Structure 1
Amino acid sequence: MPRIAYVNGRYLPHAKAAVHIEDRGYQFADGVYEVVPVHKGILVDEELHLDRLERSLRELRIAMPMGREALKLISREVMRRNHLNNGFLYMQMTRGVAPRDHKFPAAAKPAVVMTVRQMKPASKEKLEAGVPVITLPDIRWARRDIKSVSLLPNCLAKQQAHEAGAVEAWMVDGDGYVTEGTSTNAWIVTADNVLVTRSATHDILNGITRIALLDRVAAEGVTFEERPFTVEEALNAKEAFITSSTNYVMPVTEIDGRAIGNGHPGLLTMKLRDAYVAHIEGGEGTEAASPAKSAA
């Protein structure tokens, strides 16, 4: 079945979907994006994702191209046309098309693109083994809280991780503290069973899975600290894991070639993963994606 994309008001075959060469997202990375997981036909934590999308647009002074309900209707139509049951919905919004000039154009119309992708859950083998990460200097700009399409430093770091046989790179600021992964948030569990992750300031992107998991942490009565942690503290941690919309809660069992804890996924990590999966399965904070009528 051919994939279908939405581009500025049109549903097109994925292979033929395109934007103008002077779209500012292409020329200046002048835009934002969201990735919303879809589980059993349900958009997971959709409202939180849309809240973050609107915030990112505001920070870049890009007008919301349509109302939230219209955006929801289109997203469901894209899912329907692609028969998406498990995977993710990708949406990207840029300042639009205008003659190339660094300053904001006076009358550009924001551009909207939506695509979907099928995706299988993490394998049992991967969860049982955990994943390795490496650490690298964080060379990104100072507004990491904006979900910008400007991801070149993230791509460079992810490639280095891949070449090192790791699945993720944890980026480290100038003071030696871990900020986050290239596409994930970073967490550790100390020897005293304290869960630690960095505060959601301009230094990191406040992940939606991170937000949802913090609710589970509170419900489970886990001792928790929101603060920076060093690479050395991570290497000596009892457990570590990453979170994201596509990884959920994924155990980290190796950092820079050193085993974390006993080298196996930790008990608290897996307990929190189970709690997050239960959140998804229960449909809390999610909305069904089966429209009664087409948005075409």
Structure 2
Amino acid sequence: MTWTFVNDTFAEEGKATLQTGDLAIQRGYAVFDFFRTNNNVPLFLDDYLDRFFHSAAALFITIPYTRSRVAEIIFELIQKNNLPQSGIRMIATGGYSPDSYTPVQGNFILQQQAIQLPDAARFEAGIRIMTHPYQRDLPAVKSINYLMGIWLQKQLQEKGLDDVLYVHNDIISEFPRANIFIITPERTLATPAHHVLAGITRKKILEFAGALLPVETRDISVRELKNAAEVFMTSTTKRILPVTEIDGIRVGNGKAGPFTRQLLEQFIRLQEPGYGT
């Protein structure tokens, strides 16, 4: 049995309820965040709480608990479920709006589930992607609006591809659920600076990667992307995964590059117990 928290109550996952009048259901209006635990220790929790509360404030959603109380509830949930390697989702909704349009005090939800990270074989295989012209609404906010990403799933399946990278005016931005980095032929690490969600994995890589090679946050064109020496995605659940093909064009030698490997090794070291809590 897995426990879920909704407002003031812990309930079995299948028995947790939210009224249908909530703006999350009526209009898809809510924010969320998602972090991992390692041996029942939340990873980079302060960073995820910062982003969660920032997203809620940006959408005028009132979280019915203080930041410190949210942290307490998270640890209570971890203790009740005892899922050492897991993912925890925090959701703050637009609330039970009387006109189904105006945000009121939000509802707060915590869910926990066991997760499995990509194994060595998945890393070695990398991912094959396509580009698609699109820019998310309010990209600095982690909202529940994944309309385009989900709509494109059928096309990805038909083409046998793994993910889609959004592009706007020939400048790349992000995946629906991940950030992107390139390593240029001149051995510089670069990631888009504008119109992207500030990923926590992205943030950690930007903090430590300078010890390995020069780092830049800037606009990156589709042409530069396709001529990069290495390309990889970053996210909470994927950590770092190489991109080996873009729109049918092979990246580098079609395998994980040496810098991508080094960055993953360093990031894994950050996630040992005692770090990032």
Name the TM-score class by shorter chain: over 0.9
Query: Which SS does the other structure have where 1:56 is aligned?
Result: helix
Q: Which residue identity is paired with 1:209?
A: T
CA gap of 1:221–1:124, structure 2 versus 1, over 3 A, is closer
Are the equivalent residues in 1 in contact too, given 2:21–2:97 (CA < 8 A)? yes
Check the 8 A contact 2:63/2:105 in 1, yes or no: no
1:77-134 C-alpha deviation (Å, 9 max, x unpaired): 2222222111210010012112233234xxx332011111111221111111211111
Alignment map for 1:90-109 (pairs within 5 Å)? 90-104=89-103, 108-109=104-105
Amino acid at match of 1:145: A
Query: Which of 222, 229, 253 is 1:238 aligned to?
Result: 229
| 1:110-189 alignment runs, 5 A limit | 110-141=106-137, 143-173=138-168, 175-189=169-183
Aligned length: 277
Secondary structure of 1:214's counterpart equals helix
TM-score (norm 2): 0.95
CA distance in 2, matches of 1:164, 1:76: 42
Aligned to 2:41: 42
Structure 2: gaps (5+ residues)? none
CA RMSD of aligned residues (A): 1.5
The amino acid across from 2:27 in the alignment is F
CA distance in 2: counterparts of 1:276 and 1:260, whole angstroms: 22
- Secondary structure of the structure 2 residue equivalent to 1:281: coil
Mapping of residues 1-296 of structure 1, within 5 Å:
2-104=1-103, 108-141=104-137, 143-173=138-168, 175-199=169-193, 201=194, 203-218=195-210, 220-281=211-272, 283-286=274-277
Percent pairwise identity? 27
AA aligned to 1:193 is R
Cα distance per residue 1:188-237 (max 9 Å; x no partner): 111111111001x4x1100011111111112x241112112122211111
**Does the 8 Å CA contact 2:38/2:273 hold for their aligned counterparts?**
no
Offset at 1:15? 1.2
Query: Tell me, which stretches of 5 or more residues in structure 1 are unaligned?
Result: 287-296
Instruction: Please name the residue that 1:289 is paired with.
Output: none
**Alpha-carbon deviation of 1:282?**
5.3
Match of 1:293 in 2: none
CA distance in 2, matches of 1:98, 1:224: 45
- Kept in 2, the 8 Å contact 1:184–1:242? The answer is yes
